[in-house]
């Protein structure tokens, strides 16, 4: 799997959404991701995302730099490429992420207050205030502490402001900051996310912007419940 795609998925997985969840079923929108790699090179990706609670599928349809489609369903990831307007299945791989536990799923279920960490088995170990921010520290499950570190979540006036992910040895792995919240049917969606990732002493930067975000869109059923091949 390419670094470009995993950067895209990380942005989607960690994208913080906040609001008072209602009986909404769908969410979609356009995204543009600009990134600077540790080696000084730049990347650009854009496309659309679609999530549906009933089908429990998350589709990422890229239009640049390549026309590709990634569909997450249950514990599998399906990849398709475009061939003369037809989506051709390439492969299925195991995915560590469940779409219903993505921020899109948590938002529509009204369970974004803890960033979904409780559902993943994390436990709060500390809550503190710093000026106008409320910062909570979450520790990973015991069985996962060799792989996962703590997570610190900051909120401002009830909305997610930032998240810091640590390695098991307490080094900073990823920092994200969330800006430009806009109301959509009573839910607040951050239309700009700035992410800093660190590995081997090097930093990568990724800025994701969103537009035309729609909740409970009518039509486009194909993308919300994309038909997947029956493969072993």
CATH: 2.40.30.10, 2.50.20.10, 3.30.9.10, 1.20.1250.20. Which one for 3-224? 2.50.20.10
The whole-number pLDDT of residue 66 equals 93
Q: Where are the alpha helices (DSSP H) in the chain?
A: 3-14, 103-108, 221-224
Q: How far apart are CA 117 and CA 122, in angstroms?
A: 5
The whole-number pLDDT of residue 132 equals 94
**Segment 4-48, tens digit of pLDDT:** 444 444 444 444 444 444 578 999 999 999 999 999 999 999 999
Smallest CA-to-CA distance from 173 within 182, 181, 165 is with 165
**Segment 203-230, tens digit of pLDDT:** 999 999 999 999 999 989 999 999 999 8
Q: Give residues with Cβ within 8 angstroms of 110, minimum separation 6.
A: 19, 20, 21, 22
Total-model pTM:
0.81
Average of per-residue pLDDT values in the chain: 87
Tokens 């600077």 correspond to what residue? Answer: 36
- Banded pLDDT at 140 (limits 50, 70, 90): very high
Print burial letters for 88-118: b (CB count within 10 Å at least 16), e (below 16). eeeebeebeebbbebbbbbbbbebbeebbbe
The whole-number pLDDT of residue 177 equals 92
The whole-number pLDDT of residue 18 equals 47
**Segment 104-138, tens digit of pLDDT:** 887 787 766 677 788 889 999 999 999 999 999 99
The whole-number pLDDT of residue 136 equals 95
Smallest CA-to-CA distance from 174 within 192, 151, 141 is with 151
**Segment 150-178, tens digit of pLDDT:** 999 999 988 889 899 999 999 999 999 98
The domain limits of the chain are 3-224
The whole-number pLDDT of residue 207 equals 96
- 187 cis-preceded (ω within 30 degrees of 0): no
The whole-number pLDDT of residue 106 equals 75
The whole-number pLDDT of residue 113 equals 64
Q: How far apart are CA 179 and CA 112, in angstroms?
A: 16
> Does residue 85 surpass a pLDDT of 80?
yes
First to last CA, the chain: 20
């Amino acid at each position: 799997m390419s670094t470009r795609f995993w950067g895209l998925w990380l942005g989607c997985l960690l994208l913080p959404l906040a609001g008072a969840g209602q009986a909404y079923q769908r969410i979609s929108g356009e995204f543009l991701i600009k990134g600077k790699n540790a080696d000084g090179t730049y990347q650009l990706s854009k496309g659309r995302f679609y999530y549906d609670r009933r089908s429990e599928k998350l589709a990422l349809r890229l239009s640049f730099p390549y026309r590709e489609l990634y569909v997450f369903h249950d514990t599998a990831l399906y990849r398709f490429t475009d061939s003369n307007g037809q989506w051709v299945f390439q492969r299925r791989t195991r995915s560590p992420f469940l779409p219903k536990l993505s921020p899109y799923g948590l938002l529509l279920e009204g369970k974004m207050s803890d960033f979904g960490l409780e559902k993943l088995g994390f436990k709060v170990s500390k809550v503190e205030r710093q000026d106008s921010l409320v910062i909570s520290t979450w520790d990973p499950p015991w069985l996962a502490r060799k792989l996962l570190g703590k997570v610190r979540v900051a909120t401002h006036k009830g909305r997610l402001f930032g998240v810091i992910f640590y390695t098991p040895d307490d080094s900073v792995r990823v920092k994200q900051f969330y800006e430009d919240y806009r109301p959509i049917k009573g839910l607040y969606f951050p239309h700009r996310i700035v992410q800093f990732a660190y590995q081997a002493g090097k930093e990568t930067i990724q800025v994701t912007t969103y537009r035309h975000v729609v909740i409970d869109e009518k039509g486009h059923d194909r993308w919300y419940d994309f038909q997947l091949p029956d493969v072993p």
